[in-house]
Structure 1
Amino acid sequence: MNISSRKHVFIALLDDHALVLRGLNDVLSDNPDFNIVGTFTSSNELLNCLKNTHIDVVIVDYELAPSDLDGLNLIKTLMRHHPTLSILVVSAHYNPATVALALRGGAKGFIGKNRPFEEIQNAALEVSRGRTFIEPQMAQELAQQQQRGEVLLTGNYNEENVQHALSLAALSPKEQEVIRCFLTGMTVTEIAEKFNRSLKTISGQKQSAMRKLGLKADHELFIVKDELLKSLQI
């Protein structure tokens, strides 16, 4: 194909860490088919850009600053206002539970921040073509999860650790988001402000999630948090 007739893929990047943005921009700019429209550190900046700019693919981190719109809410907001947009999530939260949640919400692909540079280029290209991108090992783990009918929060299928794992299958998407934020150290008040919900609503969703998970007190949740952080290496 003649270079002048090559169809460019217009990409926007969202991450609250400037170094990550710089790295993604440098890696993707190596591909002549990619045109990086903008790099943003907040979801508001990205959403404002999308109002007036043609973008084919947005590459977003799953977890942004505590006060920002992120995770499943951001994915759903993007899909609601820009249904033809292809969303690729690049995140350190790389486990079957989070990947499955993002894909169900409308993301076209998910890749861990520890993956090779070439894979990020390939992932961006695949989602720009309307395809779903998941690297083979994660696809295998998701298939195992589907076969078992459950999602293990730690992504660890070792029988010795199953008793310490949390099943997210019974949790609603909002409950999952509340637990995710709580595990990262946010208070109920901060979570309520982040999602623009009342304290009563957030508290109720947290308690409902804990009941479904078979936990009775916060300290039990933080015991699981240790398992989670160890597994995710974050």
Structure 2
Amino acid sequence: MLMPIQSPFEAMLLDDHAFILDGISMTLAAHSDIRVVGRFTTTQALFGALRDHVPDVVLMDYCLQPGEIDGLNLVRALRIRHPRARVLVISAQHTPATVGLALRCGAAGFIGKELDPVELPDALRKVASGEIYVHPSVASRLAEGHLELAESELSYPSSPFLKPGVTAATLTVREHEVLRCCLDGFSVTDIAAKFSRSVKTISAQKQSAFRKLGVRNNNELFKIRTHLDEWK
């Protein structure tokens, strides 16, 4: 549904490279109807700002530094915690599968970093007004049906170790992070150090994720690794 755009409308920017943030900010500064109210290099800083003020649009990089929330889970977290903010994803990687999953997870748009800078303001305007904006090189493939994704693609396929009805939204963002680290061979102590959390907290998040998925130990977790990898 199209919504009237406040003028100027507000945008927050997230990219782990300050140089990219500088370029985007300079591009948008020439447009009086777009006001950048925050620019951040970490998700922690972004969510901290969002506690005090929610903009019309969050323009977020899809691939951040190791240790940060991954693209799909970040989109989910933004939509759950701050549903008023529309999410526009920007990335150098924009395969049909990636774009399709991002849109399914709640993104309102997806653009490539090679996009002509003059097109960025228009993309933000469309997203702010309630439209869906997709990178031009992918839009034609979307129209041809190459991004037709069944709802089941956001659910875990059947497995003897998974509870029926488990979906992409079953786990919290933190639980996803812990499980991915477990699958990469990290111990609970390693994960606690990586994310600056207590061992007790990490252990609780791991056990909570196990209960939700219906797995009992690391061996069963590794048996469903191929299913979990589809969420990366």
TM-score clears 0.5: yes
Match of 2:186 among 186, 189, 211: 189
Matched letter for residue 33 of structure 2: D
| One-letter code aligned to 1:208 | I
Q: How many residues align?
A: 184
8 Å contact 2:75–2:106 — kept in the other structure? yes
Instruction: Please say which of residues 106-115 and 194-203 is displaced more in the overlay.
Output: 194-203
- How far residue 103 of structure 1 moved from its aligned partner, in angstroms, is 0.6
Post-superposition CA distance 1:36-68 (Å, at most 9, x none):
101100011111111112411110001111111
Map 1:144-159; keep pairs closer than 5 Å.
144-146=145-147
Amino acid at match of 1:126: K
Q: Which has the higher helix share?
A: 1
Contact kept in structure 2, 1:171 and 1:212, CA below 8 Å: no
Change in Cα spacing, 1:210 to 1:86, as seen in structure 2 (3 Å) is same
1:210 aligns with 2:226: yes
1:77 counterpart = 2:97 = no
Cα RMSD for the two superposed structures? 3.5
Give, as a single letter, the amino acid of the residue that structure 1 aligns with 2:94: Y
Distance across 2 between alignment mates of 1:78 and 1:8: 22
- Flag structure 1 segments of 5+ consecutive residues without an equivalent: 1-5, 151-167, 214-234
Structure 2 unaligned segments of length 5 or more: list them: 1-5, 157-167, 170-175, 196-201, 211-217
Q: Which amino acid aligns with 1:90?
A: I
Q: Which amino acid aligns with 2:146?
A: Q
* In structure 2, distance between residues paired with 1:86 and 1:77: 12
Cα distance, 1:144 vs structure 2: 3.1
Overall identity of the aligned pairs, in % = 32
Q: Name the CA shift for 1:105/1:188 in 2 (closer, same or farther; >3 Å).
A: farther
Q: 1:22 and 1:95, CA in 2 relative to 1: closer, same or farther beyond 3 A?
A: same
- Measured in 2, the distance between the counterparts of 1:53 and 1:170 equals 30
Mark the CA change 1:104 to 1:36 in structure 2 (over 3 Å): closer, same or farther: same
Return closer, same or farther for 1:30/1:212 CA change in 2, 3 Å cut-off: closer
Name which of structure 1's ranges 199-208 and 111-120 shifts more when overlaid on structure 2: 199-208
- CA deviations on 1:172-221 (whole Å, 9 max, x unpaired) are 459xx89xx89xxx93429x9489664996886665353799xxxxxxxx
The normalised TM-score by structure 2 is 0.66
